[in-house]
Copies of this chain bind each other. A is one copy, B any other.
Amino acid sequence: MRIGFIGLGAMGRQIARRLIKAGHELIVWNRSRGPVDELVADGARAASSPKEAVQVDVLHTMLADDHAVGSVLFEAGALGAIPPGSVHVNHATISVALAKQLAERHRERDVGYVAAPVFGRPDSIARGLLHVLAAGAPRDVDRVMPLLEAIGQHVWRLGDRAERANVVKIAGNFMIASAIETMAEASALARANGVSASELFDVMTGTLFAGAVFEGYGALIAQHRYSPPGFALRLGYKDARLALAASDDAAVPMPIAAVLRDSFLDALAHGDADLDWSAIAEVTARRAQLDRRKS
């Protein structure tokens, strides 16, 4: 089975590597050359163009956003070069609207389409900890299941409409961002009353809020440790906008999503695009002038 892989950013590189380790032959393409060379060193073959990389049985793509997806698939013409009968596995966190459009466009051309966004960080992929959310026609998902299982610890099958996986991914990232903002506000209130963020978070994760999100981001917030970013604030903002766009399209009021938008904009206006997205906690701290108070 020939496998193509387009998009070798921090996440894509690790996913491609998992596929190679599982014994698959990959032909890879990336906008910049560096990551391609890395993968070639790992055993992949370099494609000379997106169109070449899609001449496979299963195409994986992990592109940054709607714009990058459109740029490769539509503008660079890759979409039209995908051979009928093959399956496209799209790992990117894209909009619900684009997911629907891609499913439709592939269907017209008799190409299978599986949305397969993931939860996880680059460093956890190598350890096999990725979670994969998969949705698409059962026949297509069945066909790529061995590949999806090779890249992560669990594949969550989410039905036959591809965009369902994207909705869950978007809703999930919204929940993480809301948890960050919630910790920011709770710890600001605590700090203004003389209780440190770590005292608060120790109690909360030790009682009601076990789980990776509260433990991980709680530590970052308590230590103001936002660099290097695990997930850049500019990407977190992008995902908050995906939630807002989906709620616009579906007419669902989401007041917390609106709060998040303003926190991200405030952080961006303060030049924090490249910090970890948990740095939106500093927005709340700054508004309350916590650093100028003696506690």
Contacts and interface: CB of A to CB of B under 8 A. Distances in A.
A168 B195 contact: yes
Contact-size category for A = 35 or more
A119 B207 CA distance: 8
A203 B176 CA distance: 13
B189 A246 contact: yes
A167 B185 contact: no
Contact of A206 (B156, B178, B246, B256): B156
A176 B190 CA distance: 15
A265 B253 contact: yes
A158 B188 CA distance: 17
A209 B211 contact: yes
A163 B241 CA distance: 24
A287 B250 CA distance: 12
Contact of A189 (B163, B199, B203, B254): B254
Given A193-B246, A258-B259, A269-B252, A171 B186 contact: yes
A214 B171 CA distance: 14
Q: How many copies does the complex hold?
A: 4
Contact of A247 (B96, B189, B208): B189
A244 to B, nearest CB: 8
Contacts of A174: 182, 185-186, 189
Given A183-B175, A189-B170, A265 B289 contact: no
A64 interface: no
A272 to B, nearest CB: 11
Contact of A252 (B163, B209, B265, B283): B265
A191 B206 CA distance: 32
Contact of A213 (B159, B199, B209, B244): B209
Contacts of A253: 261-263, 265-266, 269, 284, 287-288
Nearest to A100: B193
A172 interface: yes
Interface in A213-261: 213-214, 241, 243-244, 246-248, 250-259, 261
Given A168-B195, A210-B211, 10 more contacts: A172-B186, A174-B189, A179-B179, A189-B254, A208-B211, A210-B212, A251-B269, A252-B265, A255-B263, A269-B289
Interface of A: 96, 119, 131, 133, 154, 156, 158-159, 161, 163-164, 167-168, 170-172, 174-176, 178-179, 181-183, 185-190, 192-195, 199-200, 202-204, 206-214, 241, 243-244, 246-248, 250-259, 261-263, 265-266, 268-270, 283-284, 287-289
10 contacts: A168-B200, A172-B207, A176-B208, A178-B256, A208-B212, A252-B269, A252-B287, A252-B288, A253-B266, A269-B287
